[in-house]
Amino acid sequence: MAPYEALYGRRCRSPVCWTELKERKVIGPELIQEAEETVKKIKDKLKAAFDRQKSYAGLKRRDIEYSVGDKVSIGSISYYFSENIEIRPDLSYEEEPVQILAREVKELRNKRVPPVKVLWRSHNVEEATWEPEETMRSQDPHLFL
């Protein structure tokens, strides 16, 4: 009985370094050579499987380029590329506020918070967000002139 089978009560699926303990004893360089051969077989099978998967994935892959005026839909949200946007290597870009659409004063228990509705570049009016006025004044004072 193999050591793995003795420990776990079932046969090992990967025969790496699990030899049958019968009449012959594998010791020394023969054990290493047998393990290397087994590892080489496993590596070859994994490489073949990876190459098959890679060839299928490569057929459907294509580079996509967007230009000014293109409409891109991701899920239920649509984006318009109205200007050239500087995209970072991690595919993110910096949002820039364009205009303040509305102002309000939220009354909390102990204080008043004045948020402003900000329209961001490359977004529709429906996608404008409410931001704290103090934050917007410190980051983009040109919007309040």
Task: Dump pLDDT digits (tens) for 36-65.
Answer: 888 899 899 888 888 877 766 666 666 777
Compute CA distances 27 → 6, 9, 16, whole Å.
Answer: 20, 25, 15
Domain boundaries, the chain: 3-60, 71-144
Q: Is CATH 3.30.70 the classification given to domain 71-144?
A: no
| DSSP H or E stretch at residue 136 | helix 133-139
Give the pLDDT of the chain (145 residues) as one tens digit per residue: 667 677 778 777 665 555 555 555 666 787 778 888 888 998 998 888 888 777 666 666 667 776 666 666 666 655 555 566 677 788 777 788 888 999 999 898 998 989 999 998 777 788 889 999 989 889 888 888 7
pTM above 0.75, yes or no: no
Nearest to 125 by CA among 103, 102, 93: 102
Task: Please enumerate in sequence order all residues whose Cβ is within 8 A of that of 124, keeping only pairs 6 or more positions apart, or say none.
Answer: 78, 80
pLDDT, residue 72, reads 64
